[in-house]
Copies of this chain bind each other. A is one copy, B any other.
């Protein structure tokens, strides 16, 4: 369906790292007109670390995709107990086509840049462009698997296993994992405060702190400051997660 006559925007933005949705859902498979249409309804927003992007219950007139930085998705009970229900990393999707009100709080954990699309036009475009919907279905199914994996963690794992699991997941996802050090060490920064980790794991921040200290004292991890983590032996860490030896988390 590619129109040869028109210039192809895909050529202008070959890698398109600035806008994951367009890259992952559209570039590779859709034609020029749709790309241009997406271009017209998109805009960028950025938030400093700590700022709330969306409050649960707010009206949302856009959907968005994380470009850089980290955000969290969380719910809070009347009495203040809060549970994080998702961690949003670059390329993750925010918002739900077909729903007008936000269900969760979205908070920027680090400085954050998102690529927004006005919701109505996006929905219209989606209705006409199956690829976008299919890509979204794929992403949603992945998120569902991650949520269910997390249910096992929240319901059945011990505090120590929870901490080990979280560290393993973040380590796996983190870019700096790839250039593995000579000694197969993994080094990365925790993108979350102890409190945020507690909210994610269904623990208190004191318990998080104690368990992190315990893992450090036993040599499962090493710490520089409170954020920078070195994992000398990834297998050993995995053994602490309680997961099956081989793969474990899909997150």
- A-to-B contact residues, CB < 8 Å: 73, 75, 77-79, 81-83, 85-86, 96, 98-99, 103-104, 127, 130, 133-134, 136-138, 140-141, 143-145, 147-152, 154-156, 201-202, 242-244
Contact = CB atoms under 8 A, between A and B. Distances in A.
Contact of A155 (B83, B103, B138, B148): B83
Given A130-B133, A134-B133, A147-B147, A85 B152 contact: yes
B98 A138 contact: yes
A153 B98 CA distance: 25
Contacts of A73: 148
B201 A96 contact: no
Number of copies of this protein chain within its complex: 2
Which has the most chain B C-beta neighbours within 10 Å: A78, A136, A148, A154?
A148
A239 to B, nearest CB: 11
Contact of A136 (B103, B130, B137, B149): B137
A151 to B, nearest CB: 5
A241 to B, nearest CB: 10
Nearest to A152: B83
Nearest to A73: B148
Contacts of A75: 148-149, 152
Contact of A202 (B134, B137, B156, B201): B156
A242 B82 CA distance: 12
Contacts of A133: 130, 133-134, 137
A79 B151 CA distance: 17
Which has the most chain B C-beta neighbours within 10 Å: A85, A141, A149, A155?
A155
Contact of A130 (B78, B103, B104, B130): B130
A138 B150 CA distance: 22
Given A78-B244, A133-B130, A133-B133, A148 B98 contact: no
Which has the most chain B C-beta neighbours within 10 Å: A99, A140, A151?
A151
Given A133-B133, A143-B144, A145-B103, A77 B138 contact: no
A77 B141 contact: no
